[in-house]
Amino acid sequence: MSAMRVNFIHKGEVRYQGPVSPRFLIVAAILTPLLLFAMILTYHAVSFIVVKRGIGPDRAYSEKIHKDMEKYERVRQEIATLRRREAEAERWRQMAPPASEILIEIQRTVPASIRFTKLGIARSGPFEPGLGSWTFTLEGLAYGEGAESAVIDWRARLSSQDCFGRLFEDLRLVSMHRGSDGGADSPPVRRFAVIGKGSGMKGQDAAGITSAAPAGEGAPP
């Protein structure tokens, strides 16, 4: 005869006999994602703080490098500009004589019977080496019986000089007529004008070498 078993434990008080209870599984299923999310969030927060602290010095260094590069670029451009100007000035110096050489050649070739009243060199066109045109104007007085021949011979000597040959394509005697130097007893006088024109006169700007002498000073000795 079998014995009768009576269970006096309430159904709600019965514990689960397995290795893990269902309640633990439910709590673990809820807490595990939360803990994982918290860990990931903490990791990113710490990483952000570390990176931010490291970015500060790097950003300052980068800004310093950028400013230094801007300074270097400005200096490089200034150096390039100076080199271009130096090269241009050297071209001008090599391709034409200075204005002083023109005046020296005139003084060296002019005879004693000629006196100048006006001298000018003017240019037109862009102010660049090899561009534009130049006009050389020289007016004066020639004294004596052979005044006309003296002017013609002087113009020929002047145009044959290397200085004027390089600067002016042509040097012409454009006018010569009888003049007066103010005195009744003064020797015969011829007023003349010489004009030279050149295209592409390369060199120093000689527009400033203009001079004039009063016509009433008398004949040269």
Contact yes or no for 137/120 (Cβ under 8 A):
yes
Enumerate the β-bridge partners of residue 194.
138, 173
Are residues 207 and 110 part of one domain?
A: yes
Number of structural domains found in the chain: 2
Give 2's pLDDT tier (boundaries 50, 70, 90): low
Cα(89)–Cα(128) distance, integer angstroms: 10
Residue 156 lies in a domain: yes
- Asked whether residue 204 is assigned to any structural domain, the reply reads yes
pLDDT band at 218 (very low <50, low <70, confident <90, very high): very low
Report the percentage of the chain scoring pLDDT > 90.
10
Q: Which two tokens stand for residue 141?
A: 């007085």
Confidence of residue 206 (pLDDT cuts 50, 70, 90): very low
Residue 15 domain-assigned?
A: no
For the stretch 66-116, pLDDT in tens is 888 888 899 999 999 999 988 877 776 665 555 777 788 888 888 988 999
Q: Do 189 and 203 reside in the same domain of the chain?
A: yes
Quote the mean pLDDT of the chain: 74
Q: Are residues 82 and 135 in the same domain?
A: no
Per-residue confidence (pLDDT) for residue 208, from 0 to 100: 40
Residue 45 falls inside a structural domain: yes
| Same domain as 86, residue 109 | no
d(CA 149, CA 166): 25
In a domain, 169, yes or no: yes
pLDDT of residue 67: 86
CATH number at 197 reads 3.30.70
Considering the domain architecture, whether residues 59 and 157 belong to the same structural domain is answered as no
For residue 60, the enclosing domain spans 20-95
Same domain, residue pair 80 and 105: no
pLDDT band of 163, cuts 50, 70, 90: confident
Least confident of 10-24, 65-79, 103-117, 143-157: 10-24
End residue of a domain, out of 76, 95, 114: 95
Secondary structure in 3-state letters for 4-35: CCCCCCCHHHCCCCCCCCHHHHHHHHHHHHHH
Answer yes or no: is 221 within a domain: no
My answer on whether 30 and 54 are in the same domain is yes
Residue predicted with more confidence, 95 or 47: 47
| pLDDT level of residue 217 (50, 70, 90 thresholds) | very low
pLDDT of amino acid 94: 60
> Of 51, 136, 55, 132, which is closest to residue 99 (Cα–Cα)?
136
Same domain, 134 and 199: yes
Residue 60 shares a structural domain with residue 131: no
Residues 197 and 110 in one domain: yes
Q: Decide if pLDDT at 154 tops 80.
A: yes
Edge-first strand order for the sheet with 211-212 is 170-179, 189-199, 133-143, 114-124, 211-212
Place of tokens 């803990």: 35
- DSSP-assigned letter for residue 199: E
With respect to residue 6, please indicate whether it lies within any of the assigned structural domains: no
Per-residue pLDDT tens over the stretch 109-135? 889 889 999 988 776 655 555 545 678
